[in-house]
Amino acid sequence: MSHKNTPETVAQVPDAELIRWKTNAWQDPNMVAWYSGRMLENTGTNYLKNAIETDIIQRFVSGRDVIDIGTGTGRAALPLLQQGYRLTGIDSSQAMLNETRRLAGEAPITLKVGDILNLPCAAASFDSAVALNVMVHFPNWREALAEWQRVVRPGGRILFDIHSKDHVHAAYGEDREQWPQALQQTNDPADFANYMARLDTRELIEHADAAGLTVLAVVPYGAIFGGGNVNWLLYEQLERSHKWKRVLSWFASDPALLELGLFIEQQLIGQLSPCVAGRVFVVLENRADPQANKRFAEHTAAIDAALGQRSFSALQPWLKLSLADCASELRRLLQPLRARQFFFSLFDVLLDQQPDYKFDGLLLPDVLEQLLTWRALRQADTRAMAIAKGWSAACPSRTMHGVDVSQGSAYFLLESLLTEYFGVFSGERA
């Protein structure tokens, strides 16, 4: 049975209960110290995620007075503090605030205990409100935005990240009965440990119009983070596999792969629409402009239409780089074998899903030729393995005296298939 996230079920989840649950979870100083270290450690794609999120915040924050809502250990606040912004951090856990104070050292930051729906701040106190990894947990995002809007000055900005409902719909449609169980279990607001809040572009624009807000940007990201940041378009073929988890673990120790990841996330994914990745960073301005919101909706629809053309060149109008610059930079980034192998995994899945996709403009001919060669070899391996494992399934004499006599034959049959039938193996071993 799928979990239904209707307005009625959302309303049944008391905000105070959720805030109390999260507050109690972070009262133990030892737990807070562990969390603080985890935010800074370079494991898996953790550094990539942090670099993407803090970069988006620094690009869109405005003014000098900034409130960091749900500051935790200051992952969003401290980089802004170092750049000269005047910071106020709010969190429901005093233990979290104590850790932020320790990390801030002598830097002037104001820290207050409070919850996200009842900020201990006067109206119109800040130029920008930032919430990093906060709204993703709260089903009542409209109520939270109303309170955040209260403390932001006219013309100021509100920045927050949340999961993308557009992305889920692109992967599995709107019928939740068709969603995989792993996705369904994140859709119950009463399940505090697993719930992930999601919104789509239509909901956001409708709320912005009603609340007197302007949608300035919705930046998709997290297409290649893995872990709790599932790319549902890749779930069946990559995200569920241990091999993909191992590939993503390379990011922690390979600077060249990290550079490729930043390029993919910032220059490609981040320029497109919310359907391409599981998370989005929303940037709102505290001013009413329904016409601007309408233009934003049209802008997003145009990108979605371009994505539907299944040709990279159709995306050129929305990219910061020219097609030639994209291809040249990607060729440089794909020189290391590990980087090319990682990119091949994405390339291979895209062609499985959209065999007619045209990479014109993104991949130079020599790069495309090698990736297509690898794909042909991978397909030959898959077919040969299926034959080698299945040839004896219907053989009446497969079992003799209770012993499966076909055991071990697959190894030699596979070599023969690859050498003589598919013609992709010389038969010589190093």
Query: Would you place residue 221 in the very low, low, confident or very high pLDDT band (cuts 50, 70, 90)?
Result: very high
Element counts in the chain: helices (H) and strands (E): 17, 10
pLDDT digits (tens, 9 = 90+) for 85-103: 999 999 988 888 998 999 9
CA atoms of 198 and 167, how far apart (whole Å): 10
CATH number for the domain running over 7-312: 3.40.50.150
Inform me whether the pLDDT recorded for 7 exceeds 60. no
pLDDT tops 70 at residue 152: yes
Q: Once rounded to an integer, what is the mean pLDDT over residues 284-292?
A: 98
The more confidently predicted of residues 263 and 424 is 263
Q: Mark 8-46 as b/e (b = at least 16 C-beta within 10 Å).
A: eebeebebeebbeebbeebeeeeebeebbeebeeeebbb
Residues of the chain above pLDDT 70, percent: 84
Residue 96's identity, in one-letter code, is M
Give the pLDDT confidence score for residue 9 in this predicted structure.
Answer: 42
Spatial neighbors of 402 by CB under 8 A, at least 6 apart, are none
What pLDDT is recorded for position 386?
78
The pLDDT assigned to 10 comes to 45
Region 75-92 average pLDDT: 95
Using 50, 70 and 90 to split pLDDT, how confident is the model at 418? confident
